[in-house]
Amino acid sequence: MAVIVVGGHSRNIGKTSVVAGLISRLPEFHWTAFKITQYGHGFCTADGKPCQCQTADSCVSVSAEHQPASGTDTSRYLAAGATRSIWVRTRMGMLADAMPRIEKELAASENAILESNSILEFLRPDLYLTVLDSTVADFKDSARRFLPLADAVLVSSPGEGSAATNLPSDGKPWFQISPPTYISGALVEFVRERVAAAATR
């Protein structure tokens, strides 16, 4: 099994589109896709809006998406061709409590792709892709902390913005991406090679 993590420095910069694009372009890997959302402080880490993620009965919720046309990020994964789509919601700082369930879902997966930065505190994927958009000034602490671990950088709107000053320059491959797909042929081939290599180990 191969595990891919897709993160990024802020919200609304194309992370979900990257995940959906890779699922669509690489169907042979039969993906289980995960969306990991942390809530707290009155706003959602997924989109910055007033939070609707919190559940009344628990600080951790793990649920499967079944509707590919519901309009949610997890439904986009299914619409792209994911075998399964899982939404993990936790209160800020409580992702560790969700890890036993995440690990159980991973064990039942042929290959997995997770949209998250914070998950890197608890697992080391076979491939970590980080999305950067130089026009968006916000840079999440988790993204800054894990940026050195990125295997490749996906650059949207390259330029001289504040995010551009955080781009790693240590020989990591860069891939230019742009809306609406946020995917390139070179990126797809890079991921295909890395997933195939991981699957043979």
Q: Which residue has the higher pLDDT, 44 or 84?
A: 84
Looking at residue 131, its amino acid is: V
Per-residue pLDDT, averaged over 119-143, amounts to: 90
Query: What is the per-residue pLDDT for 143?
Result: 83
Query: What distance in Å separates the CA atoms of residue 101 and residue 116, rounded to the nearest whole number?
Result: 16
Query: What is the per-residue pLDDT for 93?
Result: 87
Per-residue pLDDT, averaged over 40-44, amounts to: 53
Q: Which CATH number characterizes residue 47's domain?
A: 3.40.50
Question: With 60 as the cut, is the pLDDT of residue 48 above it?
Answer: no
Domain span including residue 171: 3-200
Query: What is the per-residue pLDDT for 58?
Result: 58
SS3 177: strand
Question: With 70 as the cut, is the pLDDT of residue 89 above it?
Answer: yes
Contact 154, 187 (CB under 8 A): yes
Question: With 90 as the cut, is the pLDDT of residue 153 above it?
Answer: yes
My answer on whether omega of the bond before 148 falls inside 30° of 0, hence cis, is no
Q: Which residue has the higher pLDDT, 16 or 134?
A: 16
Total domains present in the chain: 1
SS3 33: strand
Q: What percent of the chain has pLDDT over 90?
A: 66
